[in-house]
Amino acid sequence: MNKDLTTDLLVVGGGAAGLCAAAEAAAAGVKVTVLDSDLHMGGQLVKQTHKFFGSKDEYAGTRGYKIAGILMDEIKELGDKIEMRVNTTCTGYYPEDGVYTAMKGEDEYYRIHAKKAVIATGAQERMLPFPNNDIPGVVGAGAVQTLMNVYGVLPGKKVLMVGAGNIGLIVSYQLTQAGVKVVGLVEAMPKIGGYWVHAAKIRRLGIPILLRHTILEAKGEDYVTGAVISEIDDKFQPIGKPQEIDCDVICMAVGLTPTTEIFWQAGAKMQFVPQLCGHVPFRDKTMRTSNPDLWVAGDAAGIEEASSAMVEGRIAGYSAAKALGKKMDAKKFDEYWARLDHLRAGEVGTKIRAGIAQVMVEGWEA
């Protein structure tokens, strides 16, 4: 069934950034419609059982799934100013007439007319090319979290984790808590990429972390029965004798890539930024892109922590509301940027700051 919908602000993505953008704009009196392809709002937050870092403004010390509940309570308090549409995928943007298209499930097709939009589409998991990487049992870390923390399903009995960034470390700990044996973490770099506090938990559990190692092959025909790994040199080439690992799941935690198709369709100015993990749109301090009707927030702007995504969402929602003619408090905008700068301060944020500097503009020409 075809439908035409009209809204002041369309928010594509109901994760941390999207929900904060929607709440900020709706609080200013904007009519907001939020689309999310999942069966529930909250994005990655609903599967995060660990406590967040950051600051008290971004709920430091609170588990991710509880933060999702806090944000949804904020949304509910705004009543009918926000319309939430789950199981709905934004399938395209047509800049010639400013129309977005969306599908709810596989049956309902929508044309959406929105005056402005915040695109908070998040990220997608990366995979590695190796023989047999397409058989059942080779899965992304996000999929493992969804199975366990959302649906209560164990992915297997013995897991080899590939990647020792924060996601790989956290999911390894969560797997162990659920009774799954993690036979080891394989990391190509000479040091772990995640926080030491997460790595310390893994070491206390006795899980081996194999630095300068990579996976060469998944064993099995119809499903994973093992994996072949090897030490690698400075040029990431295998050295020494390969080692076969007994496992029934190979969990890939090798990074994320921003989901940015809508920006390409909208003709937004883009650039590949390694520090932000992929192609991302140029933006000004309001998070507006070169397309005057589109703002960006969250992992679609560059891969960061959820705490930063929430603040970016606030900035984008604030700025979109202002562009729609709502009277906004300038002090709030400055406060949000102070919070964001604080989250990106120090050594941890060096890479992020360097990446953002490559795509941040002072303002857009009329």
**198-244 pLDDT, tens per residue?**
999 999 999 999 999 999 999 999 999 999 999 999 999 999 999 99
- Of 252, 270, 291, which one is at a domain's C-terminal end? 252
Contacts of 45 (CB under 8 A, 6+ apart): 15, 16, 64, 65, 67, 68, 71, 306
Q: Is residue 120 part of a domain?
A: yes
Going by C-alpha positions, the residue among 25, 38, 30, 24 that lies closest to residue 15 is: 38
What per-residue confidence (pLDDT) applies to 258?
98
Q: State how far the Cα of 159 lies from the Cα of 171, in Å rounded to an integer.
A: 11
Are 241 and 276 members of one domain?
A: no
Are 53 and 131 members of one domain?
A: no
Q: Is residue 363 part of a domain?
A: no
Are 89 and 33 members of one domain?
A: yes
Has residue 7 got a pLDDT over 80? yes
What is the torsion angle, in degrees rounded to the nearest 10, for the CA atoms of residue 178, residue 184, residue 189 and residue 193?
Answer: 20
Element (H, E) at 227: strand 226-232
Has residue 2 got a pLDDT over 70? no
Specify the number of domains making up the chain.
2
Are 179 and 202 members of one domain?
A: yes
Mean pLDDT, the chain, integer: 94
What per-residue confidence (pLDDT) applies to 352?
95
| 281-290, 332-341, 342-351, range with the lowest pLDDT | 342-351
Q: Is residue 364 part of a domain?
A: no
For 286-348, the DSSP string reads T-B-SSTTEEE-GGGGS---HHHHHHHHHHHHHHHHHHTT----HHHHHHHHHHHHHHT-TTT
Q: What is the pLDDT of residues 81-119, one digit of tens each?
A: 999 999 999 999 999 989 999 999 988 998 999 999 999
Q: Is residue 362 part of a domain?
A: no
Are 232 and 133 members of one domain?
A: yes
Q: Domain residues for 337?
A: 2-124+256-357
Q: State how far the Cα of 169 lies from the Cα of 227, in Å rounded to an integer.
A: 19
Q: Is residue 93 part of a domain?
A: yes
Going by C-alpha positions, the residue among 95, 23, 35 that lies closest to residue 317 is: 23
Amino acid at 355: G
Q: Contact at 8 Å (CB) between 243 and 323?
A: no
Are 246 and 143 members of one domain?
A: yes
What per-residue confidence (pLDDT) applies to 308?
94
> What CATH number does the domain containing 61 carry?
3.50.50.60
Q: Is residue 193 part of a domain?
A: yes
Are 242 and 293 members of one domain?
A: no
State pTM to two decimals: 0.91
Are 109 and 175 members of one domain?
A: no
Q: State how far the Cα of 30 lies from the Cα of 11, in Å rounded to an integer.
A: 12
Are 142 and 246 members of one domain?
A: yes
- Of 215, 235, 252, which one is at a domain's C-terminal end? 252
Are 26 and 112 members of one domain?
A: yes
For the chain, the 3-state helix, strand and coil shares in percent, each to the nearest 5, are 35, 30, 35
Q: Is residue 366 part of a domain?
A: no
Q: Contact at 8 Å (CB) between 318 and 24?
A: yes
Are 175 and 246 members of one domain?
A: yes
CA dihedral sign of residues 134, 139, 142, 143: positive
CB neighbour burial string for 258-274, b if at least 16 within 10 angstroms, e if fewer = bbbebbeebebebeebe
Contacts of 279 (CB under 8 A, 6+ apart): 258, 260, 270, 271, 272, 273
What per-residue confidence (pLDDT) applies to 348?
78
Are 335 and 323 members of one domain?
A: yes
Q: What is the pLDDT of residues 263-303, one digit of tens each?
A: 999 999 999 999 999 999 999 999 999 999 999 999 999 99
- 3-state secondary structure at position 34: strand
Q: Is residue 365 part of a domain?
A: no
366 pLDDT band, cuts 50/70/90, is low
**Placement of tokens 């935690």 in the chain:** 253
- Of 252, 271, 291, which one is at a domain's C-terminal end? 252
Q: What is the pLDDT of residues 18-69, one digit of tens each?
A: 999 999 999 999 999 999 999 999 998 988 877 787 677 778 788 888 999 9
Q: What is the pLDDT of residues 251-266, one digit of tens each?
A: 999 999 999 999 999 9
